[in-house]
């Protein structure tokens, strides 16, 4: 029989709170969980369910010392939230980079007015941006990266146990800054092929307007750039999918080195 006094002791309740807080931080920033309209109640219950599953494992492998004051407990919970949030943030940088790149060539196509509600950010973005974000999410699931996230959060309780002396080392900060900087590299890599062709098209249309002043270039350029951009999007869809797949695998390796 279970001893309820031991099960609901202060140490066990605080340990469960710490595990739950780390998982909450992960779900607040992780791709697929934070970027799509999952109700907050679902996220909280999911974090609580996983915390309940991980609790006996973490309790067995962790020599947790109960904090002797409320400020000490607050520091532990803040640290746990930061660890989970940092893991989700690093994984989500890839999706932010994809959105950044697609937005760049979508504006060049003339789709800046074609705005719709983006459930990933809660704001407005071109429909083509949402299509590429959905593609990245499907690749993320197909590669089993969502399972890797749960595995990584489990392993983090071994490498960064609950209540350990957390120090924001320059090495950790450097890794996070490096991953954040890759967002712009990803955006440029995705946008450059289509953006470059559309830019050359603008230059050629400019020369055409000089040679044929009587021609209404604006009425020609707008549909031309949209059709050309959509055609290029279809042509580059497969190479971009392969590139995003490589990026997902690379990001998972980098996050594994950090946590």
Write out pLDDT tens, residues 163-212. 766 666 677 777 788 888 888 899 999 999 899 998 998 888 888 888 88
> Helix crossing, 237-258 with 170-211: angle to 10°?
160
Q: What is the pLDDT along the chain (259 residues), one digit of tens a residue?
A: 445 444 567 778 888 898 999 999 998 888 877 766 677 888 889 889 999 988 888 887 777 777 777 888 888 888 889 888 988 888 888 888 998 898 888 888 887 777 776 766 667 778 888 888 888 888 888 888 888 888 888 888 888 888 766 666 677 777 788 888 888 899 999 999 899 998 998 888 888 888 887 777 777 888 888 889 889 988 988 999 899 899 888 888 887 777 6
The per-residue pLDDT for 8 is: 62
SS3 124: strand
pTM: 0.81
The per-residue pLDDT for 1 is: 46
120: left (phi over 0), alpha (psi -120 to 50) or beta: alpha
Per DSSP (E only), the strands in the chain are 115-117, 124-126
Token pair recorded at residue 217? 């270039």
Best CA proximity match to 25, nearest among 87, 94, 92: 87
The per-residue pLDDT for 90 is: 86
Residue 27 DSSP label: H
The per-residue pLDDT for 20 is: 92
The per-residue pLDDT for 56 is: 85
């Amino acid at each position: 029989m279970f001893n309820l006094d031991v099960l609901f002791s202060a140490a066990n309740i605080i340990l469960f709170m710490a595990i739950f807080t780390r998982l909450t931080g992960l779900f607040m920033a992780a791709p697929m969980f934070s970027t799509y309209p999952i109700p907050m109640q679902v996220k909280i219950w999911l974090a609580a369910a996983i915390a309940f599953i991980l609790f006996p494992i973490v309790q067995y492998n962790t020599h947790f010392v109960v904090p002797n004051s409320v400020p000490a407990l607050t520091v532990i919970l803040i640290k746990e939230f930061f660890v989970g949030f940092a893991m989700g943030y690093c994984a989500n940088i890839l999706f932010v980079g994809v959105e950044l790149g697609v937005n760049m060539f979508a504006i060049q196509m003339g789709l800046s007015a074609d705005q719709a509600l983006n459930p990933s950010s809660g704001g407005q973005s071109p429909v083509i941006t949402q299509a590429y974000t959905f593609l990245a999410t499907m690749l993320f699931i197909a590669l089993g990266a969502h399972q890797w996230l749960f595995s990584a959060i489990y392993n983090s309780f071994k490498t960064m146990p609950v209540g350990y002396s957390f120090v924001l080392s320059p090495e950790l900060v450097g890794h996070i800054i490096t991953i954040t900087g890759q967002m712009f590299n990803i955006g440029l890599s995705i946008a450059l092929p289509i953006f470059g062709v559309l830019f050359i098209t603008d230059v050629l249309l400019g020369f055409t307007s000089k040679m044929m002043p009587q021609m209404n270039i604006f009425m020609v350029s707008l549909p031309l750039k949209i059709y050309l951009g959509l055609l290029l999007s279809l042509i580059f869809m497969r190479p971009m999918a392969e590139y995003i797949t490589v990026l997902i695998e690379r990001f998972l390796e980098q996050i594994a080195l950090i946590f």
